[in-house]
Amino acid sequence: MEWNFLTAEKLAAALRAGEVSSAELTDEAIARIERDDKAINAICVPDFDRARAAARDADQARARGEDRPLLGIPVTVKESYDIAGLPTTWGMPPHRDYIPAEDAVQVSRLRAAGAVVLGKTNVPLGLQDVQTFNEIYGTTHNPWDHGRTPGGSSGGSAAALASGFGALSIGSDIGGSLRTPAHFCGIYAHKPTLGLAANRGMVPPTAPALPTEPDLAVVGPMARTARDLALLLDVMAGPDPLTLGVAHQVTLPPARHERLHDFRVLVLDEHPLIPTGSAVRAGVARVADALADGGARVERHSPLLPDLSEAATLYMQLLFSGFGAAFPVETYERLRTHAAGLAADDRSLDAARLRGVVFSHRDWIEANNRRELHRHGWRRLFTEFDAVVCPITPTPAFPHDHNPDLLERRIDIDGVEYPYLDQLVWAGLATMPGLPATAIPTGHSPRACRWEYSSSAQPSRTAPRCGWPNYSSKRSAASSHRGRAHYLSTRRGQAANHAESPFR
């Protein structure tokens, strides 16, 4: 029997029933990677010897009567997570030999749940791209079309899942780095509510793995089904045991509804600052039609929707404000001069990014106050709607573009070129206010890459910044996932989004 594409849920059932051993699953996964990954390059740091040992341990634990959530299930981990004994480089050549001494919190949680870690998946340089390539590990290709990107920065994880290299993976997201790869590769990914899952040990080399409270950035699960996302999120959710975990635990709330006809859904397919390609609009329309056919109340407009132009500008400013602190003083001062030279009426996203890089603390506080107004707007909207359906990016997966200057790159939308970084506006819709968002496949684009939409949940009322989405699609009609369905989007390819720096 072919096990590599079965869901984690089905693998767990087969393991419990004694139909297969973890050692057999692990050997089969390794064989597939060794056979197929030469053409895809998803697994950049294999850890096969330790994986086989972990599989044997899992089989012995099951023989003793143990039964943990992921016991014996092969998984992968994004390269940016610390794993003791393996390099963590973030694709940066000066750190190719850096090996951390301990596991990241989420890796520890995987191991405690019984997962078998096959290895680490590829990332872009510094996690700063919606593609996946770097000088150390090379280029990762989209499994559906090797001439196209799998997305980034969790592109290696998305490509691995689409290729049958493990049943689950963990990534991160600040600019769509979980959702965009899922969109491009046709898998599922979930960007949790800001603060829901601890991220200690997901830090650039050689920074110490200390507890942090990042603005915008999250870690999250990736899988081939929505139910598997729920399984993995249960393992990942919870505060850092060194900080908030000392005082409280997370309890994720139940779904707002169980039946599709009880849902009220707002559908968006146009953005005022960048067009949405025809292929993506068609994907959004398919989702909207399926929801309406299933009995959901579907609307196309709402006066309660926060202003999308202001949201995109605010997102870009907050996103890029974190970069300036790492720049050398002379670089920062030069950028301040450039920003001061911008016309007062320049409201382009390029201008927003430049102004954000040189934000003062006062500027950031003012932007953060405006963000709170947007959060209040979303709270009001979700008194009238249960979910929002919208794109993840304006296009399906695009051809590899390795121009080292991101400002020179362009994204082609139906034959017209736009600034490369402007495609982040849809990902930022959920990221800026800290909302959860889930990417769910919906079909293929005309060029045979997979479509997806993404759903995000309203932050929980029972735990700080805690939420979980409800999924509803042809694959899993009205399937329940703790929390409130909140923000859905479509993407091309087989993976969804993720991010760090602009993308992590």
The predicted structure's pLDDT at residue 453: 59
The number of angstroms, rounded, from the C-alpha of 16 to the middle of its chain's C-alpha atoms is 30
DSSP letter (8 states) at residue 475: S
Please identify which residue in the block is written with the tokens 């990736």. Answer: 222
Give the integer Cα–Cα distance in Å for 269 and 72: 41
The answer to whether residue 484 scores a pLDDT higher than 80 is no
Element (H, E) at 8: helix 8-17
CATH class of 8-245: alpha beta
pLDDT higher for 353 or 453? Answer: 353
| 78 part of the active site | yes
pLDDT digits (tens, 9 = 90+) for 357-384: 999 999 999 999 999 999 999 999 999 9
> At 240, is the pLDDT very low, low, confident or very high (cuts 50, 70, 90)?
very high
pLDDT digits (tens, 9 = 90+) for 409-442: 999 999 999 999 999 999 999 999 999 999 998 8
**Residues sharing a CB contact under 8 Å with residue 1, sequence separation 6 or more, in sequence order:** 20
Work out the average pLDDT over 40-66: 99
pLDDT higher for 7 or 213? Answer: 7
> At 486, is the pLDDT very low, low, confident or very high (cuts 50, 70, 90)?
very low
Of 288-297, 310-319, 325-334, 387-396, the poorest mean pLDDT is in 325-334
Share of the chain above pLDDT 70, in %: 88
The predicted structure's pLDDT at residue 447: 65
Partners of 120 in the β-ladder: 45, 77
The predicted structure's pLDDT at residue 361: 95
pLDDT digits (tens, 9 = 90+) for 17-50: 999 999 999 999 999 999 999 999 999 999 999 9
pLDDT higher for 85 or 465? Answer: 85
The predicted structure's pLDDT at residue 325: 82
The predicted structure's pLDDT at residue 73: 99
Q: Is the pTM of this model over 0.95?
A: no
3-state secondary structure of 17: helix
Partners of 60 in the β-ladder: none
Candidate list 22, 78, 172, 472, residue with the active-site label: 78
pLDDT digits (tens, 9 = 90+) for 127-177: 999 999 999 999 999 999 999 999 999 999 999 999 999 999 999 999 999
Candidate list 153, 154, 456, 472, residue with the active-site label: 153
The answer to whether residue 479 scores a pLDDT higher than 60 is no
Residue-range domain boundaries for the chain: 8-245, 260-497
Residue 119 near residue 96 (C-beta atoms within 8 A):
no
| 169 part of the active site | no
| 309 part of the active site | no
Work out the average pLDDT over 461-473: 28
Candidate list 80, 108, 157, 177, residue with the active-site label: 177
Please identify which residue in the block is written with the tokens 């598997």. Answer: 228
The predicted structure's pLDDT at residue 446: 79
Q: Which of 195, 156, 154, 199 is nearest to 177 (CA)?
A: 154
The answer to whether residue 208 scores a pLDDT higher than 60 is yes
Residue 174 near residue 216 (C-beta atoms within 8 A):
yes
> At 309, is the pLDDT very low, low, confident or very high (cuts 50, 70, 90)?
very high
CA angle 492, 494, 495 (to 5 degrees): 90
- Average pLDDT score, the chain: 90
The predicted structure's pLDDT at residue 212: 86
The answer to whether residue 500 scores a pLDDT higher than 50 is no
Share of the chain above pLDDT 90, in %: 83
> At 504, is the pLDDT very low, low, confident or very high (cuts 50, 70, 90)?
low
